[in-house]
Amino acid sequence: MNYNIDKTEQYALISLDESKFGENIAGPFEKMVIVLYREGYTNMIVDFTNIKEIDNDGLSLIRKATKACRAEGGLFVVATKDDDIIETIDSAAIPDLLILPTTDEAIDAVFMNELENDFREEEDDEYGFDSEGSFDERD
């Protein structure tokens, strides 16, 4: 699998230099996502600029990565302008997945999500909710 990873404090940007996203790179991509997740990256952006084909294994990987990121309040974003790729991914109906045309828009979405999460935490603290969203009884 040919790729490049750019890491910032808020996200990891994975640029794939492959034409097909699926069985041929399933193992290495999944391992990479797991390593990034363990390093604390809950916001991941995958640049699909070069991807021209995606199979069921690729869709399964996207579903798993999206679920893992969302479980921690993060985002998994696919950046592509390819209508066929977008249609294929959309047909899989992956909950909470964002598909945006450019990596710049994906980065903006990550920052907006971080702001929303911070705002939600402040609001919960203001009203006495604990980290699970339950009411914290205070004297």
Which one-letter amino acid corresponds to residue 25?
I
pTM of model > 0.75: yes
Pairing of strands 44-47, 12-16: parallel
Q: Tens of pLDDT along the chain (139 residues)?
A: 899 999 999 999 999 999 999 898 988 999 999 999 999 999 999 999 999 999 999 999 999 999 999 998 999 999 999 999 999 999 999 999 999 999 999 999 999 999 988 877 665 555 555 555 555 544 4
Q: Which domain holds residue 62?
A: 3-103
The two tokens of residue 27 are 């193992």
CA distance 113 to 100: 14
Q: How many domains does the chain have?
A: 1
For position 37, which CATH number holds? Answer: 3.30.750.24
Contact 133, 124 (CB under 8 A): yes
Q: What's residue 1's pLDDT?
A: 87
